[in-house]
Amino acid sequence: MNDSPSPTGANGEGNGGRGPDGRFGRGNGCGRGNPHAKRVAQLRGALLDAVSPADLKAVAAALLAQAKAGDVAAARELFQRLLGPPVDLETLDRIAALERQVAVALGLQCDGSTAGGSQ
């Protein structure tokens, strides 16, 4: 007897309740989605209804004032919201090295032109 998993679903159950694209099909008990999604959407909608653009500006101004006063947590929050999370410097160095390798492999010079003169 073969007890190894079947690539098409549970052994002996055809496609395992999945559609042709591999996603859970209608009626499959395992593919119900996020049970909290509807509630989260309702709460998010209520929050958006409750907060006006003026409210958001006031909160941003308060956060900015706290950051200017030396509150490191407020400054960190402000920077991460405006600039995105910090990028690891090692990652930037690796990306630059890979870009140089690609340029060498393609025969490009620093300005983007090819070694032959035209691009």
DSSP-derived secondary structure letter, 88: P
Other CB atoms within 10 Å distance of the CB of residue 24? 15
pLDDT at 82 over 60: yes
97 Cβ neighbours under 8 A, 6+ residues apart: none
The predicted model gives 33-49 an average pLDDT of 93
Q: pTM score, two decimals?
A: 0.48
pLDDT at 9 over 60: no
Tokens of 21: 């694209």
CA distance 105 to 100: 9
Distances in Å between the Cα of 106 and the Cα atoms of 12, 51, 98, 115, 118 are 52, 53, 12, 9, 13
